[in-house]
């Protein structure tokens, strides 16, 4: 299996608190990558795309979890 499918499966299995923690970690990682790029320390520019896509995956999963929780309450 590819790393992408594995990561998608991992994100799908997270609960809300863990997904939010990983989202904060990924946003911090993106911030540090931007600082490294400014200093000329980044060797692989694809890291930016990988981190941004992972952030999008986590945001989507969090919104799905919130939507499911709202539907249970109604």
**∠ CA 18-11-73 to the nearest 5 degrees?**
65
Q: Could you tell me the pTM of the whole model?
A: 0.90
Q: Per 3-state DSSP, what percentage of the chain is helix, strand, and coil (rounded to 5)?
A: 85, 0, 15
pLDDT in tens, 38-55: 999 999 999 999 999 999
User: Sorting pLDDT into bands at 50, 70 and 90, what band is 16?
Assistant: very high
Do residues 51 and 26 lie in contact, with contact meaning Cβ atoms separated by under 8 Å? yes
Instruction: Say if residue 74's pLDDT is above 90.
Output: no
Give the per-residue pLDDT at 4: 84
Give the separation between CA 45 and CA 55, rounded to whole angstroms. Answer: 16
Task: Name all domains of the chain by residue range, CATH numbers in brackets.
Answer: 3-73 (1.10.287)
């Amino acid at each position: 299996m590819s790393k992408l499918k594995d990561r998608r499966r991992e994100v799908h299995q997270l609960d809300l608190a863990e997904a939010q923690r990983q989202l904060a970690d990924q946003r911090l990682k993106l911030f540090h990558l931007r600082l490294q790029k400014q200093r000329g320390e980044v060797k692989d520019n694809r890291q930016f795309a990988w981190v941004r896509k992972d952030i999008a995956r986590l945001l989507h999963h969090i919104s799905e979890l919130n939507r499911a929780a709202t539907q249970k309450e109604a």
